[in-house]
Amino acid sequence: MEDLVESILDYVRSDYTDYAIMINGEWGSGKTYFWNHKIRNKIESMQLNGKQYTTIYMSLYGISNLEEISKKIFIETTQLMDKNLKRYMQANNQTTIPEYAKTGLDMANFFGVTQNGDRIDYEEFFSTDDKVLCFDDLERANVDVIDILGYINNFVEHDHIKTIIICNEKELSTKLKSSNLEMKTFIATYLLDKEGDLDKIGDKPMVEKIQDTIEYVFDKANDYERIKEKLIGETFEYAPEFTYIINGLLMRYESNEDLIRFLRENTGLIISSFNKSGTRNLRILKHALNDFRKVYEMVSKYYPNTNNRVLQTMLIFTIAVSFEIKAGKITKDKFVNIQSNEEYKSILVSSRVLLTDNRQFYIKEFDNNYYYNFKAEYRFFKFIEIYVRTRIFDMKVFKQNMEVIINTVDTDKLPGYKRLLTEEYWKINDDQFEPIIEEVLSDVKQGKIQLIDMVKLFAYFSYFIKKGLISYDMKTIKNIFINGMNVSSLTSSYCDNVEEELAQITVGEVNSDIEDILKHFNQLNVQLKDKMYIEKADEIFKCIPMRMEVFYERFDKECMDVPIFKYYDVFQMFQRISCASNEDIVTIKEKLIKRVNENKDAIEPEMKNIAQLKQLMDDYTKNKESTIKIVMLREFSKDLEYILSQYKTSLFSGKKEEINEN
């Protein structure tokens, strides 16, 4: 991002330019924010030949004629002519004139009203070498883009004023092609009819013929490219630093200490949900966070003991629903008929069995996307959905939802370790704290807690020791946790999103003791991964040869980027493949070729077993009379040879070399 800033400043510093520059980026991605917070101030702090630079910013949004642009420029430069106005703006730290004020100034000039009778300083007014023009929202103007660029070209080519144009070229291209489409279609149809091509049977469908004629006759895109080539010297692609911008968005909530602390602690969730939306629209995120402020304040006011996990889920849901509705991904009615969390969950359950309608499919995709690797009992909030969709905060629905949540996720009924992990520890009453600590340690010793949660809990206990909240020493606690993790590993599940889980820890700092616990966790987690894949491999390969449809479905979904052959006995694998039909043998080897072409690095650890499988096939088919199956197995062996060759190893013809499994 700093490189982009410096490139723009280099353009401004240039002694002589006869071209403008363009900043191109998607709607809502923060281009205007980038101008206001990264560019404008730096330009205005620069000096050229002893003169201070002045920026003149104009949004072209809604402009309907070129005269309006001239008026905007005049109003923006009024502060150069009117000393009182300039002094007022400086005294009040005002950098731009509000739109309503521009209207008043415009009317004052129209009626001949002067502000203070000062004479115009024409030397300052006519100076162009210390001004930078910025035209924003080019694609949103109601004037022909070609005319606007021609108008701007006057400043650039004749006056050599530094000029920056901010736009979304993707939308601009769409606008150029879609303007007056009905008229263009009518004329194109008329021309085709006059030329006798309307009813002529040919290679192209009628729709394509009409489209080609429209592009030939009304190709304004080419006009745009020609004038852009003349006017725009450089086009910079704006790729925003979302973390920086999101931190800027959060600053507006600093007046609410609890809210800003919660948002900063969960910045990872905000960024993750934003990325999962599949858009670059920071404007929608800004509105979503503003909606969440209302949600957070109402929950804090009426239900102050709501646990942290529920609030985190509300944050995700608010952002998710905002993007789904406001980005135009869905129609608003997708959620309208879902009245409760139970109904939402029932749709998910039924969708796993049979997708009977589009809504089921959508809800399943919505849940898999936004709640992937985020476990929460309560994931649908009707009062939030209504608020985002209608802008009405329904108190009745809000209280109904919250009563259900309290009964479902009552902190007093939660195990002690879950209370530590799902709510701020300082919300626990002093008389409850010590019993909770003892309960948690008992569960740790017995291995009742998942491994990843053990790591999180150790971070809390390390912090409690440092703050003097518990009387245990670090060595004792560390031994309790390591022994408990060993017991827990017998029943725990593999964790594949360690970083995201650990990001939920909001206390203390990483130290050598926590690093030791993490190292031990990683060792055990690798063992759990192997155990998980061994069980999965057994389930999947057992489907050969009798349940091939199930094998294909699960192999395609779960094994294309996983070295699953590493986790299954090679001899049993060969027996199963050799018992499959000739057609299935061909299909299996084709899938293996596809895997290595698409996921070479991911499946490398299984190559030792692939080499052994090839050797078994060669031994089995050696000196055998050719049958279709024998030929298919020999072909299979050749394809395995191709696969192994991708790793530059030589494990053929009985020569067994070890393959690096790392």
Task: Report the chain (662 residues): mean pLDDT per 10 consecutive residues.
Answer: 85 86 82 87 83 85 83 63 60 57 51 48 55 88 85 84 89 63 62 66 66 59 70 84 74 90 91 86 89 95 88 95 80 78 78 51 87 85 94 95 80 73 76 92 94 92 92 94 96 86 74 92 94 94 94 93 94 94 94 93 94 95 93 94 80 43 43
CA distances from 183 to 87, 147, 179, 541 (A): 52, 20, 9, 62
CB proximity list for 49: less than 8 A, separation 6 or greater: 129
Copy the structure tokens of residue 427.
């919300």
> What predicted TM-score, i.e. pTM, was given to this entire model?
0.47
What pLDDT, on the 0 to 100 scale, is given for residue 651? 43
Copy the structure tokens of residue 52.
């201070």
CA distances from 399 to 288, 319, 570 (A): 21, 21, 59
What pLDDT, on the 0 to 100 scale, is given for residue 524? 96
What pLDDT, on the 0 to 100 scale, is given for residue 421? 78
Query: Rounded to an integer, what distance in angstroms lies between the CA atom of residue 397 and that of residue 393?
Result: 9
Q: Output the CA torsion sign for 592, 593, 598, 602.
A: positive
Cα-Cα-Cα-Cα dihedral of 342, 348, 353, 355, to 10°?
120
What pLDDT, on the 0 to 100 scale, is given for residue 159? 79
What pLDDT, on the 0 to 100 scale, is given for residue 216? 57
What pLDDT, on the 0 to 100 scale, is given for residue 635? 94
CB proximity list for 203: less than 8 A, separation 6 or greater: none
What pLDDT, on the 0 to 100 scale, is given for residue 176? 60
What pLDDT, on the 0 to 100 scale, is given for residue 520? 95
Residue 386 half-sphere exposure, CB side, CA atoms within 13 Å?
15
Residue 73 half-sphere exposure, CB side, CA atoms within 13 Å?
16
What pLDDT, on the 0 to 100 scale, is given for residue 312? 94
For residues 26 and 283, the answer to whether their CB atoms sit within 8 Å is no
Tell me which H or E stretch contains 236. strand 232-237
Nearest Cα residue to 143 out of 60, 206, 211 = 60
Tell me which H or E stretch contains 136. strand 131-136
State the DSSP code for 443.
H
Nearest Cα residue to 371 out of 453, 276, 456, 265 = 276
For residues 521 and 451, the answer to whether their CB atoms sit within 8 Å is yes
Residue type, 50: G
* Pairing, β 162-167 against β 232-237: unpaired
Copy the structure tokens of residue 249.
């968005």
